[in-house]
């Protein structure tokens, strides 16, 4: 008979969990599990006070490694990893993550926020008194005369607070069980559960980092930043030339006009003016360089690196819960600066040997060079190499496949030059003429920006946001580019409108409507009151839109709204969507499923993934057996649920991470 064991732990470590991450936090010699709260099969919550030397019941220790006991926890990777430190690595497949369940069903992360979003009764919600208790018992404290110079608070220092802390821990188990009960009618599919287990392996494996490069970059970055601020102080006489308000006021006085902002874009525009005085020009240059001297990502690596020189926990499973894509954590590998400078190996060596003057001579800007080298801090283990492979134009391929846009599919089945082919379709120019050296090659730029910006019902504004004006295109030409792209991609445009009409019908009538390769439907559980619009993807995974309703948009047409995380406020609230956005969700979700399938194939083939970014995987493997072609071949294999989706992948092999 299977049992369900719900668990919550409270712990102590002198390592900062937010800055350094879970793995370094647990690795600390002073790491300790303080409280172990549990409920077996929905029974009363029990709590074991490990801080006061209570011990776990023998049956519970056995249950933690017994497959007949399914272990549940909110952010289960934490509980699993904490217990594994003392009990040996526990089997991943025996655990279920309540947080992942909520994310899968369209809710946000956070036990308290999820409980409120689900409308749990007050007695089932997480206690809001916990933050102060956690600060008191779970974090080091500052030694003072009042507390006798201690650096940590123990239960005997405040027995009443400790009693409340135990209540708080027990209540978390109550909340976890209530969330699982609320979402029981919307289970996490087995395939997503297996993906989560693979994610645990990858995050636990981590990736090696070059700490010599990190520490040298921090030193050079500090010296460079100090020198720039000193120079700016001499030029301007400002107390803090890095202050936005002080620098803005100085520039306005020197230039004799109002300066709206000194953000990156504005500074670049101001630098291009011809009438700047030398002091103004130099202050703007310094401002631009200071924007590059941030060592935050180097700081993040230094804070998170474990004793064996590896950083772990870089990925958040289902971090983007609208699509199920991963999010970055700690160092944020999802938005590392690109590498343009060459040769990279020489730049790395000059930083490691702390030669900023040589860096400046060869590469120009030291801050910009340091910024680009952040990516190269991730390295292969000794004797190994990194194999990096990424899907080619994955979103463009998926949307073509979803819409059945045949000319595009033919491009991807043959030469793959979608920017040129798009320009050819838009302007009626033979494809063979759009090549370097021909005047028609200038059209490629229009094809490229259109492809990047217009697939999800974007218009001229989307082109501008994608950098059309920076590419030299004129604003008055943008509506024509939009019209031409839409004219060449009628099936994709039809997909937007079909998706929106289907969503309106599903929400208004509760029916099911197929749109090409996806199925929209309404799912409602009378017991829990949870109501969702659901999109069934070809992989069998579902996208959930909680509490959908029909409203009226600014153009007086029906619009779909649902409950979710608002992008601007980052709070749970009402979100509006439309056909193009729903298509974008589906495309990115399917691309994510392609990546996940590729990761499973690589892991099964003995090719260990150390991290991945959007459509790109990084494998760390023995140099003697490294085979880029094998990795690329596995990524190119058709998806089991999309045999006719034309995929392609390319990659490189090297000792450090870069953007090829």
Tell me the pLDDT tens digit for each residue of 610-621.
Answer: 999 999 999 999
Cα–Cα nearest to 351, from 274, 298, 415, 313: 298
User: DSSP letter at 528?
Assistant: T
pLDDT score recorded for residue 397: 97
User: DSSP letter at 639?
Assistant: B
Better-scored residue on pLDDT, 289 or 620: 620
Residue 642: which pLDDT band, with cuts at 50, 70 and 90?
A: very high
Tell me what the mean pLDDT of segment 577-605 comes to. Answer: 97
- CATH code for the domain defined by 3-184: 3.30.420.10
User: DSSP letter at 659?
Assistant: -
Find residue 7's DSSP bridge partners: 38
Q: Are 611 and 333 in contact (CB under 8 A)?
A: yes
User: DSSP letter at 434?
Assistant: S
Residue 130 has pLDDT above 90, yes or no: no
Contacts of 625 (CB under 8 A, 6+ apart): none
Residue written as tokens 């008055």? 476
Domain chopping of the chain, boundaries: 3-184, 206-379, 406-488, 587-654
Q: Over the chain, what is the mean pLDDT?
A: 93
pLDDT score recorded for residue 269: 84
pLDDT score recorded for residue 292: 66
Lookup: tokens for 200: 């645990």
pLDDT score recorded for residue 293: 58
Q: Give the separation between CA 240 and CA 242, rounded to whole angstroms.
A: 5
Cα–Cα nearest to 277, from 328, 235, 326: 235
Q: Give the separation between CA 152 and CA 140, rounded to whole angstroms.
A: 5
> CB 135: neighbour CB atoms within 10 A?
11
Q: Give the separation between CA 445 and CA 488, rounded to whole angstroms.
A: 16
pTM of the model: 0.92
- In 526-658, which ranges are E strands? 530-536, 542-552, 558-565, 572-577, 609-613, 616-622, 649-654
The region of weakest confidence among 119-123, 363-367, 422-426, 616-620 is: 119-123
Q: Are 325 and 614 in contact (CB under 8 A)?
A: yes
Tell me what the mean pLDDT of segment 606-633 comes to. Answer: 96
pLDDT above 90 covers a percentage of the chain that reads 73
User: DSSP letter at 445?
Assistant: H
Residue 257: which pLDDT band, with cuts at 50, 70 and 90?
A: confident
- pLDDT 10s digits, 374-413: 999 999 999 999 999 999 999 999 999 999 999 999 999 9
Lookup: tokens for 52: 């006061």
Contacts of 7 (CB under 8 A, 6+ apart): 36, 37, 38, 71, 72, 73, 79, 173
Q: Give the separation between CA 618 and CA 392, rounded to whole angstroms.
A: 15
Better-scored residue on pLDDT, 10 or 126: 10
pLDDT above 70 covers a percentage of the chain that reads 99
DSSP per-residue codes, 282-323: HHHHHHHHHHH---HHHHHHHHH--TTSEE---EEEEEETTT
pLDDT score recorded for residue 123: 67
- pLDDT 10s digits, 316-332: 999 988 899 999 999 99
Q: Give the separation between CA 259 and CA 263, rounded to whole angstroms.
A: 11
Question: How far is it between the farthest Cα atoms of the chain?
Answer: 82
Residue 418 has pLDDT above 90, yes or no: yes
- Using DSSP's 3-state secondary structure scheme, residue 180 falls into helix
Q: Give the separation between CA 330 and CA 526, rounded to whole angstroms.
A: 40
Tell me what the mean pLDDT of segment 485-502 comes to. Answer: 96
> CB 41: neighbour CB atoms within 10 A?
11
Q: Give the separation between CA 116 and CA 126, rounded to whole angstroms.
A: 9
The region of weakest confidence among 134-138, 418-422, 474-478, 529-533 is: 474-478
Q: What's the gap between Cα 587 and its chain centre?
A: 17
530-542 burial code (b ≥16 CB/10 A, e <16): bbbbbbbbbbebb
Which phi and psi (to 5°) does residue 185 adopt? -80, -5
- By residue count, the chain amounts to 660
CA angle, corner 496, sides to 493 and 501, nearest 5?
Answer: 130
Q: Give the separation between CA 169 and CA 255, rounded to whole angstroms.
A: 59
Contacts of 454 (CB under 8 A, 6+ apart): 462, 463, 482, 485, 486
CB-based burial of residue 234 (10 Å sphere; 0-12 exposed, 13-18 middle, 19+ buried)?
Answer: exposed
| Interaxial angle between packed helices 394-403 and 406-413, expressed in degrees from 0 to 180 and rounded to the nearest 10 | 140
User: Do the bridges between strand 3-12 and strand 69-73 make them parallel or antiparallel, or are there none, so unpaired?
Assistant: parallel
Residue 655 has pLDDT above 80, yes or no: yes
Q: What's the gap between Cα 652 and its chain centre?
A: 23
Lookup: tokens for 216: 């040298």
CB-based burial of residue 202 (10 Å sphere; 0-12 exposed, 13-18 middle, 19+ buried)?
Answer: buried
Q: Are 238 and 232 in contact (CB under 8 A)?
A: yes
Residue 503: which pLDDT band, with cuts at 50, 70 and 90?
A: very high
Rg (CA), the chain: 28
- Using DSSP's 3-state secondary structure scheme, residue 560 falls into strand
Which phi and psi (to 5°) does residue 369 adopt? -65, -45
Contacts of 359 (CB under 8 A, 6+ apart): 220, 347, 350, 351, 366, 369
pLDDT score recorded for residue 335: 86
């Amino acid at each position: 008979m299977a049992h369900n064991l719900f668990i919550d732990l409270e712990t102590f470590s002198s390592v900062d969990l937010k800055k350094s991450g879970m793995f370094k936090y647990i690795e600390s010699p002073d790491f300790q599990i303080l409280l172990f709260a549990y409920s077996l099969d929905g029974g009363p919550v029990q709590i074991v006070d490990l801080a006061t030397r209570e011990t776990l019941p023998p049956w519970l220790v056995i249950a933690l490694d017994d497959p007949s006991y399914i272990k549940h926890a909110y952010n289960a990777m934490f509980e699993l990893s904490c217990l594994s430190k003392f009990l040996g690595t526990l089997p991943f497949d025996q655990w279920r993550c309540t947080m992942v369940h909520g994310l899968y069903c369209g809710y946000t992360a956070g036990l308290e926020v999820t409980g409120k979003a689900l409308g749990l009764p007050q007695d089932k919600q997480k206690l809001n008194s916990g933050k102060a208790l956690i600060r008191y018992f779970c974090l080091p404290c500052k030694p003072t005369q009042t507390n006798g110079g201690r650096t940590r608070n123990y239960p005997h220092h405040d027995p009443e607070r400790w009693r409340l802390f135990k209540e708080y821990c027990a209540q978390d188990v109550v909340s976890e069980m209530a969330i699982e009960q609320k979402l029981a009618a919307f289970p996490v599919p087995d395939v997503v559960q297996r993906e989560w287990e693979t994610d645990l392996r990858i995050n636990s494996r981590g990736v090696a980092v070059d700490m010599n490069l990190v520490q040298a970059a921090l030193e050079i970055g500090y010296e460079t930043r100090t020198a720039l601020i000193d120079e700016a102080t001499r030029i301007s006489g400002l107390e803090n030339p890095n202050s936005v308000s002080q620098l803005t006021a100085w520039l306005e006085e020197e230039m004799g006009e109002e300066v709206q902002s000194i953000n990156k874009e504005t500074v670049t525009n101001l630098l291009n003016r011809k009438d700047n005085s030398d002091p103004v020009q130099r202050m703007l240059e310094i401002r631009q360089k200071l924007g590059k001297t941030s060592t935050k990502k180097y700081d993040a690596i230094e804070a998170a690196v474990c004793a064996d020189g590896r950083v772990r926990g870089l990925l958040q499973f289902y971090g983007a819960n609208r699509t199920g894509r991963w999010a970055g954590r700690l160092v944020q590998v999802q938005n590392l600066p690109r590498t343009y400078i060459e040769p990279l190996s020489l730049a790395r060596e000059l930083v490691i040997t702390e030669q900023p003057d040589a860096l400046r001579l060869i590469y120009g800007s030291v801050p910009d060079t340091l910024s680009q080298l952040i990516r190269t801090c991730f390295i292969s283990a000794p004797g190994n190499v990194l194999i990096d492979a990424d899907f080619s134009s994955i979103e463009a391929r998926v949307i073509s496949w979803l819409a059945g846009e045949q000319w595009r599919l033919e491009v991807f089945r043959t030469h793959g030059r979608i920017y040129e082919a798009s320009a050819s379709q838009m302007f009626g120019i033979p494809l063979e003429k759009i090549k370097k050296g021909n005047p028609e090659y200038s059209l490629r730029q229009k094809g490229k920006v259109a492809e990047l910006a217009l697939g999800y019902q974007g218009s001229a504004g989307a082109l501008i946001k994608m950098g059309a004006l920076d590419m030299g295109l004129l604003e008055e030409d943008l509506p024509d580019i939009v019209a031409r792209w839409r004219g060449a991609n009628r099936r994709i445009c039809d997909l937007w409108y079909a998706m929106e009409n289907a969503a309106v019908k599903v929400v208004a009538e509760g029916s099911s409507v197929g749109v090409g390769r996806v199925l929209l439907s309404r799912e409602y559980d009378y017991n829990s009151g949870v109501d969702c619009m659901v999109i069934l993807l070809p992989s069998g995974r579902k996208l959930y839109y909680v509490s959908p309703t029909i409203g009226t948009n600014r153009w007086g047409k029906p619009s779909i709204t649902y409950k979710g995380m608002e992008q601007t406020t980052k709070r749970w609230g009402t979100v509006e969507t439309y056909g193009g956005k729903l298509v974008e969700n589906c495309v990115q979700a399917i691309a994510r499923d392609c990546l996940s399938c590729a990761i499973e194939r690589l892991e099964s083939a003995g090719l260990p993934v150390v991290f991945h970014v959007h459509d790109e995987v990084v494998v760390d493997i023995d140099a003697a057996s490294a085979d880029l072609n094998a990795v690329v071949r596995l990524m190119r294999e058709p998806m089991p649920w999309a045999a006719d989706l034309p995929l392609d992948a390319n990659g490189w092999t090297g000792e450090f991470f870069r953007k090829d």
